Structure 1
Amino acid sequence: MPPAISAEPKGEAIALDIVYEDDDLIVVNKPKGLVVHPAAGHEAGTLVNALIAHCGGSLSGIGGVCRPGIVHRLDKDTTGLMVAAKNDAAHKSLSAQFADHGRTGALRRGYLAFAWGLPNRPHGTVDAPIDRHPYAREKMAVRASGREAITHWEVRKAFNGRDGKPVAALLACQLETGRTHQIRVHLAHAGHPLMGDGVYGPHFKTKANQLGPSARTALDALGRQALHAYLLAIEHPRTGEILRWEAALPEDLLLLQTALAATE
């Protein structure tokens, strides 16, 4: 029989890109490929393991033994800003802010998304409920039976293909709710799935033929959905100060952006 796995995550010396830290919270810029907390198939090597090693026993325990300090999540291959709570009071405050989704408070979550095609207007909103996919249980889908989900988007830049027509766009997205895979599901539902998203945009692979050679190479090398959590704003749980951070695009998305611009 395989050896038993401890239910309590252990600290692991995993490098963290720390954007901000004090006695109440820590903000990190999560790299691609890093799972947020232990789960089936990912019992170790997660952000939680790294946080335990860095913060010791100071992380909030409200989230449970496998999710100390965790108040929100990013997909494994989504990069960008995350905040974790270092005590229970901070956890309660941050959880309330995320539950409010910025409707009445200071919370802001901004994402940069490279999507196929160009929307027919400069900005818009996808208001469509999300639930588990009826057949593919690892996926989410827009379903009438789902929970409310609202994503606001605006076009930051359009990229032309080899024929001179728009083939992709850089979108800035703001979340008003926080459903699993929300941006990925909503943009696919709107006809503009994320570049590199093999789950929600596989039928768009033929679009890659419209890209120039450098853009095609950058997309092939990406190996993930082109999504980055670039903006995070919160109210500090102790002082009430409004804190705001931005994280630049990681190298792989910068390469994709440069290559897409070169095909214009």
Structure 2
Amino acid sequence: MASEAELEIDDEAAVDEDVALEPFGVRIVALAAEDAVGRVDKVLATRLPEMSRGRIQALIAEGRITRDGAAIADASARALPGDYRFDIPPPVAAEPQPEAIPLTVLFEDAHLIVVDKPAGMAAHPGPGTESGTLVNALLHHCGASLSGIGGVARPGIVHRLDKDTSGVMVAAKTDAAHQGLSALFATHDIERVYIALTRGAPHPARGTIEGAIARSTHDRKKMALVKTGGRHAVTHYVVEAAFGPAAKPLAARVACRLETGRTHQIRVHLASKGAPCLGDPTYGSGPPAEPVRRAMAEAGLARQALHAAVLGFVHPVTGEALRFESALPPDMATLQAQLETL
């Protein structure tokens, strides 16, 4: 089963390329009155198609876009006529640097390494996350054995978890392992089980969610279920525990087993069942019940409650069957304990 990835390598690469191809230096965009219609970030994105709207928002947040000499304060503000100056910094070097970041290593040999990634750590460097990533940590931990495996920008990476999703990940240390692991993910010969704590509970209590997923036409950082196009996605789920009134649970613990691994697959699929991950800032679609909010606050949950709990595969070089389990991290474990009292 492919990774929830939660972002697949090719999908994320398409995002990164936008930044890699953008110009740098000073650019001037003149807006006449008839051009200044709508949000300033959206209007400017139409005038500079080589730059994504998200990148323009980031430049505004950094104070790098001014109008007639005054910094733009809000990307969502209405566009006004005038001369807009873009101060675009040069791209960051593509090659990540080793950093002495502690890792929880579950398994390691000459070919691959399996780690328990904490929430808050990105898998590899990208725009706005140039350091502190798993790749930076792996480069320090593994040394020269990791260099260039799978590409300079993402050495060793064959799948991903979102920055704020915790749990088990595997990285390759040799070309043979990288090719073998990539093949396993491509054919879905990977056991992947995620634990989600959800708002309410999906119905029925056990089932399969199918639905093609594509990047949202309204927000390119967000994924959405689509009727046409997109990539086929299948998630098998089971409600392991429901919390609150039996007739209408306030929250649930849901185990998700992936048949495919599309961008944000679990988060999108659970939200489509009306049971998004608790704490999900992107797909949450409304606040949970007050007792659940209180439990989240007491647990200190500051991210989506999603954890990659199981990773199983056949070692691509030695042929050994490997399976790794990771217990819920403290924030999710504490939250579950609080929910059990509802």
CA distance in 2, matches of 1:4, 1:228: 33
Task: Report 1:76-87 matches (<5 A).
Answer: 76-87=163-174
Corresponding position of 1:200: 283
**Which of these residues, 233, 237, 242, is aligned with residue 321 of structure 2?**
242
Check if 1:92 corresponds to 2:179.
yes
CA contact under 8 A between 2:242 and 2:252: conserved in structure 1? Answer: yes
1:261–1:70: structure 2 CA closer, same or farther, 3 Å change rule?
Answer: same
Matches of residues 55-204 of structure 1 in structure 2 within 5 Å?
A: 55-59=142-146, 61-102=148-189, 107-143=190-226, 144-160=228-244, 165-203=248-286
Which amino acid in the other structure matches residue 176 of structure 1? E
Describe the SS at the equivalent of 1:187.
helix
**Secondary structure at the counterpart of residue 166 of structure 1:** coil
Q: Distance in 1 between matches of 2:317 and 2:91?
A: 40
1:200-247 Cα offsets, whole Å, 9 max, x none, are: 0132x1x2324384x14236x211000000000011111111100100
**Structure 2 unpaired stretches of 5+:** 1-24, 26-88
Match of 1:157, as an amino acid? Answer: A
The one-letter code sitting in structure 2 at the alignment partner of 1:140 is: M
CA distance in 1, matches of 2:291, 2:140: 46
Moved more, 142-151 or 118-127: 118-127
Q: Which ranges of structure 1 fall in alignment gaps of 5 or more residues?
A: none
**Deviation string, structure 1 residues 170-211 (Cα, Å, up to 9, x no partner):** 0000111111111000111111111000100132x1x23243
**CA offsets per residue over residues 115-136 of structure 1, 9 Å max, x none?**
1112332310111000000111
TM-score, length-normalised on structure 1? Answer: 0.91
Q: 1:44 aligns with which of 121, 128, 131?
A: 131
Question: Could you tell me which residue of structure 1 aligns to residue 61 of structure 2?
Answer: none
1:4, CA displacement in angstroms? Answer: 6.7
- Taking only the aligned residue pairs, the percentage that are identical comes to 55
**Helix, strand or coil: the match of 2:267?**
helix
Asked if the contact 1:196/1:226 (under 8 Å) is kept, the reply is: yes
Question: In structure 2, do the counterparts of structure 1 residues 208 and 255 end up closer, same or farther at CA, with 3 Å as the change threshold?
Answer: same
Q: How many residues align?
A: 254
In 2, distance between residues paired with 1:88 and 1:60?
A: 10
Using the TM superposition, give the Cα deviation of residue 45 of structure 1 relative to its aligned residue in structure 2, in angstroms. Answer: 1.2
**Partners of 1:160 and 1:168 within 8 A in 2:** yes
TM-score normalized by the length of structure 2: 0.71
2: CA distance, partners of 1:96 / 1:60: 20
